[in-house]
Amino acid sequence: MAESGAQLFARLEPRRSLKHIEPRLFPDDGGPDHGEVVELHGTEGTGKTELLYHLLCRCVLPAAAGGLETDVVFVDTDYSLDILRLVSILDSRLSAAGGLEEAELRSCLSRLLVVHCSSSSQLLLTLHFLETAFSSRPSLSLLLIDSISAFYWLDRCEGGASVSKQEEKLSKCSELLGRLLRDYRITVFATSHAIRRSYRSPDAPGSSSSSSSSSCSSSEGERPYLCRSWQRLVTHRLLCCRAEAGGNMAAAAGGGNKEQRRRQVFSVHCTSSSSSSSSSSSSSSRLKAYRSSSFYVTDGGVVFI
C-alpha cells in the first residue's frame, strides 16, 4: 500500500524505547525493547491490573515526575479499566514530585487512548484501525491489552470441534500484532487470566517465604492455553501470584507497633526468552533469564520490596 512521505517518516523514526520502564521487574539488561511482548499471567487478585497501572503511569507521567512521557493505547476487552484508580495513582505520583495541577493531570490523561472491545472480531478490526493511529502519532510507543484471554471461551465455543477454527481469530490478531510490532517498533503488554486451578497441597499455616515461592513455581508448570501464534510472540512472561508474607513483615518491623496492618504481598516471577541475535547459525538459541520480585499495593500504587 502506498504511504505518504510523512507516514514513512513516522514509521521509521525510532519510538521511545521502554527498556528501562521497570528495572525491578525484568532481569538485568533485559527490559522490553522495541518489538517485544510482555505477558502478565496469573489468577484473580494477584495484582496484574495494578502492575499494569503502575507501568502505564510510568509511561504517561512527565519527566519531572519520573515518567517517560510517551503515548499509550489501552485496549480494554473486559471493561475493567478503573479510571478513578488510575487517577488516584497519578495524583499521588504527581504530588510526590511536587506540585499538583489540574492541567498536568489532564495532559497526562490525554496521552492515554482507551478503546473498548467486546469480541475478538472487533479486536481484530480495531487493531487494523489503530494502525493508522500508530502511523500518525510517532510518540505512541506502548500498546496495553487487558486482557488478551477475555474472548477465549467465546471463541472456543464458536469454533466448534476444530481447534484451528477456535484459535483462528486470536491467531489473526497475533499475526497482525506481529506485523505492527515489526513495522512500527512498538512494545505490547498484555494480561491473561489463569483459567485452570492448579491443585496443590495446602500450605502449612504460618508459611515462610520459601513455601510461597514454591507455590509460585508450581503454577509455572501450567500449560499456556492461548494459541500458538500468540505464544510465539511473547518474549517476557510475568507470572503473578500471592505470597503469604504479611506476618513476616509485621514481625520484622519491630515488636512495639501492634497496629501494623497486614499487607498482602504479591510476587512476580519473570521469564524472559530472547533469541540470540548475533549468531548466524541455523539454530537460534533462546536465552532464558529469570527474575523474581515482590511488591505490595498502597493507595499510591505499587511499591516494590
Partner 1 sequence: LLNEGIKCAHGASSSHQEGIAVSFVFQALLAVRRVLLAQHTAFPVSGADLYEELLSSTAILSTGNPSLDKLLDSGVYTGEITELSGGPGSGKSQVCFGVAVHISHHLKQRVMYVDTTGGLSASRLLQMLQAESSNVEEQMEALQRIHIFHAFDIFSLLSYLYSLPATIQQVSVGGGSVKAVIVDSVSAIISPILGGKQNEGMSLMIQVAGVLRRIAKDFNVAALVTNHVTRGGGGGGGEVQAGLGLSWSHVPRTRILLERTESAGTGHCSVRSATLIKSSRQPCHIKEQFDLQWWSTSKEGSAAKRKLDDSDSR
Binding-site ranges for partner 1 (CB under 8 A):
1, 43-45, 49, 60, 73-74, 78-80, 82-87, 106, 108-118, 121-122, 124-126, 128-130, 133, 147, 150-151, 153-154, 156-158, 172, 176, 193-197, 199-202, 261-264
Minimum distance from residue 201 beta carbon to partner 1 (Å): 7
211 touches 152 (CB < 8 A): no
* Of 107 and 285, CB closest to partner 1: 107
Residue type, 116: H
Minimum distance from residue 282 beta carbon to partner 1 (Å): 30
* Of 36 and 155, CB closest to partner 1: 155
Minimum distance from residue 290 beta carbon to partner 1 (Å): 25
Minimum distance from residue 277 beta carbon to partner 1 (Å): 29
Minimum distance from residue 202 beta carbon to partner 1 (Å): 6
Q: CA–CA separation, 106 vs 111, rounded Å?
A: 9
Query: Sign of the C-alpha dihedral, residues 272, 231, 35, 297?
Result: negative
Minimum distance from residue 129 beta carbon to partner 1 (Å): 4
Minimum distance from residue 273 beta carbon to partner 1 (Å): 26
Q: CA–CA separation, 299 vs 88, rounded Å?
A: 8
Strands 234-243, 265-275: pairing is antiparallel
Q: What is the DSSP letter of 46?
A: S
Other residues' Cβ atoms within 10 Å of the Cβ of residue 108: 23
**CA-closest candidate to residue 136, choices 18, 1, 17, 3:** 3
* Of 197 and 223, CB closest to partner 1: 197
Other residues' Cβ atoms within 10 Å of the Cβ of residue 142: 25
Decide: helix, strand or coil at residue 16.
coil
Tell which phi-psi region holds residue 191, choosing left (phi > 0), alpha (psi between -120 and 50) or beta: beta
Q: Which residues pair with 292 in a beta bridge?
A: 269
* Of 108 and 268, CB closest to partner 1: 108
* Of 38 and 130, CB closest to partner 1: 130
* Of 205 and 254, CB closest to partner 1: 205
* Of 49 and 272, CB closest to partner 1: 49
Q: CA–CA separation, 113 vs 126, rounded Å?
A: 13
Number of H helices, E strands in the chain: 11, 9
By residue count, the chain amounts to: 305
Q: CA–CA separation, 284 vs 3, rounded Å?
A: 34
Residue type, 200: R
* Of 130 and 243, CB closest to partner 1: 130
Minimum distance from residue 276 beta carbon to partner 1 (Å): 32
